[in-house]
Chain A
């Protein structure tokens, strides 16, 4: 390994409002090495790298390229320092060919597609890419699109490549191909930074690993000295006592029996693979996993919002009716049976709420149809709105304030409050505390516990392992669309869950 520093970060801090995304982070990248940046969701990996690639500008700290202090204000600046980043969400123009996307925005030199193609061919041959340059982006698979993004960065002469979760969308074979290419680049003297949370990949590809936790650098280790166990411990950190009030389940009854649930997405990737589990009334079932591992699809399948394969079966066992097969039912029918879903997406609004409508109108989003007549009945929604504002301490000028105007935490209280208000038999909540402060979070936890006490089967998808361990009765761990284990919330350890979250499942995949 060459010992020359390619990139160095000193004391980088970045805050968004009151949230500290990165705090005093130091990082070193040498020439001709592959560095993994490892961390849980929300540990600040992507934010840190976005500052190197010019998307964000740090509040304080220094960035040194080749030992020189530089200021990077835009992706263009980053390119001038030969830094290129491949984002998780590709920035490509759909109707353009690969070549057209590669040259987009380059302004110097003569515009000659033939010459560009020649240069691109040189790059592809050098590193062994396999791509049809005249193919349009919208005809491409995800891995081809990623290839275009990588070539785009190389074409601009990048010596430092940053890849954000590059394998998240790839099949095992494609991942191997990508790794081979990365190794060739490394041999060529380029520095590569991979943002990831997949331990086996870290161990397989990288030379060194830097671990981030809660926005801070908690250490860098040589890969050869690391094990999955040691990395997990660093990533998860000490267990934090939260003191969430958890009572034992009282007479749990089987509510949901999920069998062989499989969901194939439009682009052909498998989002859920043969998932089977049970959920009980009177308990909280936690779902742990790196985001994008199928949690969303799982909840949406139960709510009737996903197309599942024929073998899939979701049996719902209400007290007052005979067993119901939920697969094939419409979202409305499922909801009527008493199954509620509150999903807090990344942008918080999105699907559960209508931003420009006020709290009252949002209250009746799911219930406005009930009752006869052509007119809306705002009386009940209004009292419900006021009740939620009061009991959950929603900070708002009035119940007639558009939801968009509320702060994130208050938006979530409105959303979760509404879902709970329908007194569901099965309550599914995803990321209800995303971005919330401690007090609001506890309000939500207590609400969930209360629902459990009332006999509802609560399914809780969370990001914070500490919370899952303290709140849930059982924790189901998902990884790449599969269940890798179910543990008891009272006895599980963070490491146990962390390993299940990150352990390799690819081998099982290829056996099928």
Chain B
């Protein structure tokens, strides 16, 4: 047969069937290490410090004092909480990128109860009202895009994204309505004198309650996704809507129910942030967690237990890079750059887990 002018391509990409667990985690760890090296080099270029010093500083920033450890754990818990919230929706292939807004609405409902009912009802009752209000407000907020997705197949990615900004402006409105003191455009610490509606602290640890609640949520979510009928149903819907219909599942109902859950957990995050940690609300209360949480959940392959690790990684980077910026006199946004780079590496490495490259020289291999 005569040879053609067409060359065989340099390499050929094929989908992998599977990769042993140790290999896939090996690839991920290599990616994280590579990312840390790149991030270290960049830091070195900017600060002139040697990378080892840089990482030592990061560690100090994250674990230096017990206060720092607590604050790291608190950030970790809140990020994990939002990541847990978006996970059931993602497993259903419903791209809920509106967690930011759902958290804010939950927080807003909490703040509203604290402000309007603060001195009118007993504290225990107030806290119960706060819990109910925050969870249901956020759940309804999340249900809106889910309803339209189920009914008209409205694009949920863009819908939930837009809902974030509606929520932000809503919070902004109430910030000014409830401003304290007048003219500050800020709510300030709510019920500073009476502590009405402040979630109780356990012992002397300000953040312990939040951490315990989120840990309980993690276990709940793990069990819900893995062992409950609901979790089973949403997995089937996510994997194949056709199969779901084939076995007579009501897909619309599953979509709406799952988003209510997703919103409700966001509401809990809002409750903890406003009632437990900040005792106030601003447009930045959610602090971008709604977006970061998506990466946390996705990197953990939607497994709540792994999410503790990925949330830890990102929180650690943020607090560590924050420390670098203080010590070396850099801007605090430095942490976003580092986080971005590391995520690029982790996202990129998935390719090598799912696909493999056949190079030209390997064409002798016969299938």
Which positions in A face B, CB cutoff 8 Å? Answer: 17, 62, 69, 71, 73, 77, 304-305, 330-332, 335, 349-357, 361, 364-366, 368-369, 374-376, 378, 405
Main secondary structure of the interface of A (DSSP, over half): loop
- Contact across chains for A352 and B243 when beta carbons are under 8 A apart: yes
In the assembled complex, the Cα of A374 lies from the Cα of B246 at a distance in Å of: 22
Query: B227 and A376: CB pair below 8 A?
Result: yes
- Does B367 sit at the interface, judged by CB under 8 A? yes
- Please pick, from B228, B239, B248, B367, the residue contacting A354 in the complex, using a CB distance under 8 A: B239
Q: Is the CB of B6 within 8 A of A331?
A: no
For residue A408, give the distance in angstroms from its CB to the closest CB of chain B: 13
Q: Are the CB atoms of A69 and B17 closer together than 8 Å?
A: no
Across chains A and B, which 5 residue pairs bring their CB atoms closest together, nearest first? A332-B248, A331-B248, A354-B239, A351-B246, A71-B4
Contact present for B227 and A375 (CB under 8 Å) = yes
Given A71-B4, A356-B239, A376-B229, 17 extra CB contacts under 8 A: A69-B1, A73-B4, A77-B6, A331-B248, A335-B248, A350-B240, A351-B242, A351-B246, A352-B243, A352-B246, A357-B235, A364-B232, A365-B243, A365-B247, A369-B229, A375-B229, A405-B17
Q: Which B197-233 residues sit within 8 Å CB-CB of chain A?
A: 227-230, 232
B85 within 8 A of A: no
The distance in angstroms between the C-alpha atoms of A376 and B236, with both chains bound, is 14
Given contacts A354-B239, A356-B239, contact A71 B246 (CB under 8 A): no
Distance of A24 Cα from B16 Cα, bound (Å): 31
B354 to chain A, nearest CB (A): 12
Residues of B within 8 A of A405 (CB): 17-18
- Report the minimal beta-carbon distance from B222 to chain A, rounded to whole angstroms: 13
| Residues in B neighbouring A355, C-beta threshold 8 A | 239-240
- The answer to whether residues A366 and B247 also contact, given A71-B4, A354-B239 and a CB cut-off of 8 A, is yes
Q: List the A residue with the shortest CB-CB distance to B235.
A: A357
Q: With A69-B2, A405-B18 in contact, do A376 and B232 touch (Cβ < 8 Å)?
A: yes
Contacts of A330 in B (CB 8 A): 248
Evaluate contact between A331 and B246: CB separation under 8 angstroms: yes
Q: Interface code B62-85, partner A: CB below 8 Å = 1, 0 otherwise?
A: 000000000000000000000000
Query: Which chain B residues have a beta carbon within 8 Å of chain A's beta carbons?
Result: 1-2, 4, 6, 17-18, 227-230, 232, 235-236, 239-240, 242-243, 245-248, 367
- A350–B230 CB distance below 8 A: no
**Residues in chain A near residue B230, CB distance under 8 A:** 374
Q: How far is the CA of A369 from the CA of B250 in the complex (A)?
A: 13
Q: Which of B1, B229, B242, B246 sits near A368, CB closer than 8 Å?
A: B229
Per the bound structure, the CA–CA distance linking A364 and B247 in Å amounts to 11
Name A364's closest neighbour in chain B (CB-CB).
B232
Instruction: Indicate which residue in B6, B227, B229, B232 contacts A71 across the interface (CB closer than 8 Å).
Output: B6
Closest CB in chain A relative to B14 CB, distance in Å: 14
Instruction: Please name all residues of chain B whose beta carbon is closer than 8 Å to the beta carbon of A361 when the two chains form the complex.
Output: 232
Given contacts A73-B6, A332-B248, A335-B248, contact A354 B229 (CB under 8 A): no
Q: How far does the alpha carbon of A280 sit from the alpha carbon of B281 in the complex, in Å?
A: 70
Instruction: Knowing A331-B246, A332-B248 are in contact, say whether A354-B6 is a contact too (CB < 8 A).
Output: no
Tell which of A335, A349, A376 has the most Cβ of chain B within 10 Å.
Answer: A376
Cα A351 to Cα B245 with chains together (Å): 9
Name B246's contact: one of A62, A305, A357, A378 (CB within 8 Å): A305
> What is the CB-to-nearest-CB distance from A454 to chain B, in angstroms, rounded to a whole number?
24
CB distance from A61 to the nearest CB of B (A): 9
Which residues on the A side are within 8 Å of B229 (C-beta)? 368-369, 374-376
Q: Which residues of chain A are within 8 angstroms of B228 by Cβ–Cβ distance?
A: 374-376
Whether A357 pairs with B239 at a CB distance below 8 angstroms is: yes
Query: How far apart are A277's CB and chain B's nearest CB, in angstroms?
Result: 24
Q: Among A17, A352, A364, A375, which residue has its beta carbon within 8 angstroms of that of B367?
A: A17
A-B pairs with beta carbons under 8 Å apart, 16 shown: A17-B367, A71-B2, A71-B4, A330-B248, A335-B248, A349-B240, A350-B240, A351-B242, A354-B240, A355-B240, A356-B239, A365-B236, A365-B247, A368-B229, A378-B227, A405-B18
Report whether A354 and B235 are in contact in the complex, using a CB–CB cutoff of 8 Å: yes
Q: How far is the CA of A52 from the CA of B367 in the complex (A)?
A: 22
Contact between A350 and B242 (Cβ–Cβ < 8 Å)? yes
Instruction: Please indicate the chain B residues that have their CB under 8 angstroms from the CB of A366 in the complex.
Output: 247
Task: Name the residue on B nearest A351 (C-beta).
Answer: B246
- For the complex, what is the distance from the CA of A283 to the CA of B245, rounded to whole Å? 30
In the complex, A361→B242 CA distance in Å? Answer: 17
Please indicate the chain A residues that have their CB under 8 angstroms from the CB of B239 in the complex.
354-357
Q: Which residue of B lies closest to A74 (CB)?
A: B6
Q: A352 CA to B230 CA in the complex, in Å?
A: 19
Chain B residues lying within 8 Å of A374, measured Cβ to Cβ, are 228-230
Whole-angstrom distance from the CB of B132 to the nearest CB of chain A? 21
Chain A residue nearest to B17 (CB atoms) is: A405
List B contacts of A352 (CB < 8 A): 243, 246
In the complex, how many angstroms separate the beta carbon of B32 from the nearest chain A beta carbon?
A: 25
In the bound complex, do residue A353 and residue B243 qualify as a contact, i.e. CB atoms below 8 Å apart? yes
Closest B residue to A343 using CB positions: B246
Shortest CB-to-CB span from B138 to chain A, Å, is 22
- Compute how far the CA of A351 lies from the CA of B249 in the bound complex, rounded to whole angstroms: 13
CB distance from A363 to the nearest CB of B (A): 12
For the complex, what is the distance from the CA of A73 to the CA of B1, rounded to whole Å? 14
Bound form: Cα–Cα A357–B238 in Å: 11
- Tell me the minimal C-beta distance from B248 to chain A in angstroms: 4
Closest B residue by C-beta to A341: B246
Cβ distance A362 to chain B, nearest Cβ, rounded Å: 10
Interfacial chain A residues near B18, Cβ < 8 Å: 405
A376 to B227, alpha carbons, bound, how many Å? 5
Q: With A and B bound together, what is the CA distance between A305 and B247 in angstroms?
A: 9
List residues of chain A with CB within 8 A of the CB of B243: 350-354, 365
Bound together, the chains give a CA A351 to CA B248 distance in angstroms of 12
Q: How far is the CA of A335 from the CA of B248 in the complex (A)?
A: 10
The residue in chain A whose Cβ has the minimal distance to the Cβ of B224 is A374
| Chain B residues whose C-beta falls within 8 Å of the C-beta of A69 in the assembled complex | 1-2
CB distance from A274 to the nearest CB of B (A): 26
Q: Which residues of B are found within 8 Å of A62, using beta-carbon distances? A: 1
Residues of chain A contacted by B246 (CB below 8 angstroms): 305, 331, 351-352
Residues of chain B within 8 A (CB-CB) of A351 are 240, 242-243, 246
Q: Which residues of A contact B247 (CB under 8 A)?
A: 331, 365-366
CA A331 to CA B230, docked complex, whole Å: 19
Nearest B residue (CB) for A303: B246
Chain B residues near A71 (CB-CB < 8 A): 1-2, 4, 6
Residue in chain B with minimal CB distance to A378: B227
Tell me the complex Cα distance, A330–B248, Å: 7
Residue of A nearest to B236 (CB): A354
Q: How far is the CB of B235 from chain A (nearest CB, A)?
A: 7
Q: Which residues of B contact A332 (CB under 8 A)?
A: 248
Which residues of chain A come closer than 8 Å to B227, judged between CB atoms? 375-376, 378
In the assembled complex, which residues on chain B have CB atoms less than 8 Å from the CB atom of A376?
227-229, 232
> In the assembly, what is the distance between CA of A374 and CA of B227, in Å?
9
Name the residue on B nearest A333 (C-beta): B248
* Cα–Cα distance between A17 and B366 once the two chains are bound (Å): 10
B364 shortest CB reach to chain A, Å? 15
Which residues in A have their C-beta under 8 angstroms from that of B17? 405
- Closest CB in chain A relative to B261 CB, distance in Å: 13
Give CA–CA (A350, B240) in the complex, Å.
8
CA distance A405 to B15 in the complex (A): 12
Q: With A and B bound together, what is the CA distance between A369 and B248 in angstroms?
A: 11
Minimal beta-carbon separation of A395 from chain B (angstroms): 14
Q: How many angstroms between the C-alpha atoms of A349 and B230 in the bound complex?
A: 22
Q: Which residues of B contact A368 (CB under 8 A)?
A: 229, 232
In angstroms, Cα B157 to Cα A84, docked, is: 40
Distance in angstroms from A437 CB to nearest chain B CB is 18
Question: Contacts of B248 on A, CB cut-off 8 Å?
Answer: 304, 330-332, 335
Residues of B within 8 A of A364 (CB): 232
Closest to A373 in B: B229
In the bound complex, CA of A22 to CA of B240 (Å):
33
Measured CA separation A368–B367 after assembly (Å): 40
CA distance A303 to B232 in the complex (A): 23
